[in-house]
């Protein structure tokens, strides 16, 4: 055995038990009662007092390479991921150029394989013309398709309804779920123009420019087209109770519709616009109460399927611009997800550790059909494991994070609980808060 993790409290959606976990090569080979003499590892980790989760999968990151390497790269983005206990990331297509042809998908995967610390999958773009979607889907290089129904970083537009119907039909045929950035373009553009005309430049004006109705309207559009085509869909970064209600209406009508929520939409309140200003600008915006408590309840009871970070870093000098209209939307998140969910979810009692394992790993693997090797701690599966210390104290500081641009609206937040080891396909990539392997171990997930 290459690696033996002893006395870990293994937590999955089904419960928890203390086990020894044996790893040989890249796979789990035994999960057994502790102390079985037959189990020996070349390397051993004593995990007494620690919890083991199925390796975290962040289903929504923007790692910016190719084209925007000043914001993030595969090396720095996956470095932040493994430092935060994440073993697989699914990366978004609004790079430069966007991931909208087979050649561009292949070259992004090749770039990632050069320097990734963790495993990865990529989304292909359904762009305004809808071109190349069939070839992309057929290529087998993607975990899903993505389209932007509203304006956001990259300025990429979705096709009209006919084009979307064609893309959804292709998605259905090739087993690719289509992810929607769900904000209605017309509502957002009209609201933003009206607010700008008043002379407002404060951070709260961004929230007002993107009302919950914009999200609900876009989800209704997506739901209607999914219903017509029978295709599977996914709502990215759900931010409002109204959006959640729209998701539920389309599910009740028979649509296969999954959805995700980010730590910032779950946990931040409106005062963040005073404390963090433009750093908190993100699409869709953080709305605070009562939306955030509705999202927490829905994550806990299963109406929301999973958590994803929407890790979307920008240069500090741009995030700190005076006028909110000049500030780009998005901020980092892949490294802070786990400590935040442990502190403000598990320790506060509304999120069980079992549900955390489900929403940060098992469900993500299920939604994107990452195959029998991801999102499960079972003999034969990829040995992806996140070891956590529930008592480990921390404070979120940009200077201590491992991405390229680390401004966060959670700056200064005290946390309790963090990853202390990140194991990717059998290799310990992070151990005791330090990188333990050279970059380049990460591989594309095989669906």
Q: Which residues bind ligand NCD (CB under 6 A)?
A: 62, 94, 152-153, 181, 282-283, 310, 312, 329-330
Q: Give the helix/strand (H/E) hosting 243.
A: helix 241-252
Residue with tokens 């599910």, as numbered in its chain: 251
330 binds, among ligand NCD, Zn ion, none (CB under 5 to 8 A by kind): ligand NCD
Q: In terms of Cα–Cα distance, which of 315, 303, 174, 208 is closest to 249? A: 303
List the single partner that 132 binds among Zn ion, ligand NCD, none, CB under 5 to 8 Å by kind: none
Min dist CB 71 to ligand NCD, Å, is 8
Q: Which is nearer to Zn ion, 314 or 443 (CB)?
A: 314
Helix axis angle, 185-197 relative to 212-229, nearest 10°?
160
Q: How far is the CB of 185 from ligand NCD (least distance, A)?
A: 13
Q: What is the closest distance, in whole angstroms, from the C-beta atom of residue 152 to ligand NCD in the complex?
A: 3
Q: What are phi and psi of 396, to 5 degrees?
A: -80, 115
φ, ψ for residue 69, nearest 5 deg = -65, -15
Nearest residue to Zn ion, by Cβ distance, number only: 181
Active site residue 220: no
Q: Which two tokens stand for residue 289?
A: 């109460």
Which lies closer to Zn ion via its Cβ, residue 177 or residue 427?
177
Rounded to a whole number of angstroms, the distance between the first and last alpha carbons of the chain is: 26
Smaller CB distance to Zn ion: residue 73 or 283? 283
Residue whose CB is less far from ligand NCD, 260 or 310: 310
User: C-beta of 207: minimal distance to ligand NCD in Å?
Assistant: 13
Q: Which does 153 bind (CB under 5 to 8 A by kind): Zn ion, ligand NCD, none?
A: ligand NCD
- Min dist CB 190 to Zn ion, Å, is 20
Tokens at residue 159, please? 């096709």
* 141 contact choice in ligand NCD, Zn ion, none (CB below 5 to 8 Å, kind-dependent): none
Residues 19 and 388: their CA atoms lie apart, in Å, by 15
User: Which structure tokens are listed for 79?
Assistant: 């470095």
Residue of 310, 382, 384, 389 marked active site: 310
Please report, as ranges, the residues that interact with Zn ion according to CB under 5 A.
Answer: 181
* Between 187 and 383, CB nearer to ligand NCD: 187
Q: Please report which helix (H) or strand (E) contains residue 27, including its range.
A: strand 27-32
**Hey, is 5 helix, strand or coil?**
strand
Q: Among ligand NCD, Zn ion, none, what does residue 172 contact (CB within 5–8 Å per kind)?
A: none
Rounded distance between C-alpha atoms, residue 71 and residue 64, angstroms: 7
**C-beta closer to ligand NCD: residue 41 or 97:** 97
Distance, in Å, from the CA atom of 175 to the CA atom of 137, rounded to the nearest integer, reads 9
In the complex, what is the shortest distance from the CB of residue 236 to ligand NCD, in angstroms, rounded to a whole number? 7
Q: CA 89 to CA 443: how far, in whole Å?
A: 11
Radius of gyration of the chain (CA): 21
Catalytic residues: 310
């Amino acid at each position: 055995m290459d690696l033996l993790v002893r006395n870990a409290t293994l937590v999955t959606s089904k419960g928890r038990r203390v086990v020894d976990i044996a790893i040989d090569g890249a796979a789990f080979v035994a999960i057994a009662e502790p102390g079985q003499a037959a189990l020996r590892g070349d390397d051993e980790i004593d995990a007494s007092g620690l919890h083991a989760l199925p390796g975290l999968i962040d289903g929504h990151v923007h790692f910016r390479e190719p084209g925007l390497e000043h914001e993030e790269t595969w090396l720095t983005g996956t470095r932040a991921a493994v430092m935060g206990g994440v073993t697989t990331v699914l990366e978004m297509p609004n790079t430069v150029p966007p991931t909208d042809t087979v050649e561009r998908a292949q070259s992004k995967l090749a770039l990632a394989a050069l320097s990734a610390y963790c495993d990865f999958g990529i989304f292909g773009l359904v762009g305004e013309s809808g071109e190349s979607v069939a070839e992309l889907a057929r290529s087998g290089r993607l975990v899903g398709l993505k389209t932007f129904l509203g304006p956001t970083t990259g300025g990429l537009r979705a096709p009209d309804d006919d084009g979307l119907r064609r893309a959804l039909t292709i998605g259905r045929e090739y087993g690719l779920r289509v992810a929607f950035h769900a904000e209605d373009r017309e509502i957002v553009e009209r609201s933003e123009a009206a607010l700008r005309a008043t002379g407002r430049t404060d951070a709260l004006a961004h929230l007002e420019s993107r009302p919950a109705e914009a999200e609900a309207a876009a989800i209704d559009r997506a739901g209607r087209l999914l219903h017509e085509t029978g295709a599977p869909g996914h709502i990215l970064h759900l931010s409002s109770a109204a959006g959640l209600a729209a998701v539920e209406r389309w599910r009740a009508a028979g649509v296969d519709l999954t959805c995700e929520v980010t730590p910032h939409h779950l946990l931040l309140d409106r005062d963040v616009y005073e404390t963090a200003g433009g750093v908190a600008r993100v699409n869709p915006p953080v709305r605070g109460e009562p939306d955030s408590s509705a999202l927490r309840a829905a994550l806990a009871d299963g109406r929301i399927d999973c958590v994803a970070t929407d890790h979307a870093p920008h240069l500090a000098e741009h995030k700190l611009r005076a006028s909110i209209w000049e500030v780009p939307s998005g901020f980092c998140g892949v490294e802070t997800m786990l400590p935040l969910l442990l502190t403000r979810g598990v320790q506060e009692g509304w999120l069980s550790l079992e549900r955390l394992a489900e929403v940060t790993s098992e469900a993500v693997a299920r939604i994107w059909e990452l195959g029998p090797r991801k999102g499960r701690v079972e003999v034969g599966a990829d040995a992806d494991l996140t070891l956590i210390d529930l008592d480990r104290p921390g404070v979120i500081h940009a200077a201590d994070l491992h991405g390229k641009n680390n401004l966060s609206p959670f700056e200064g937040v005290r946390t309790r609980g963090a990853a202390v080891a990140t194991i990717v396909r059998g290799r310990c990539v992070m151990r005791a808060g330090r990188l333990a392997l050279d970059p380049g171990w990460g591989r594309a997930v095989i669906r």
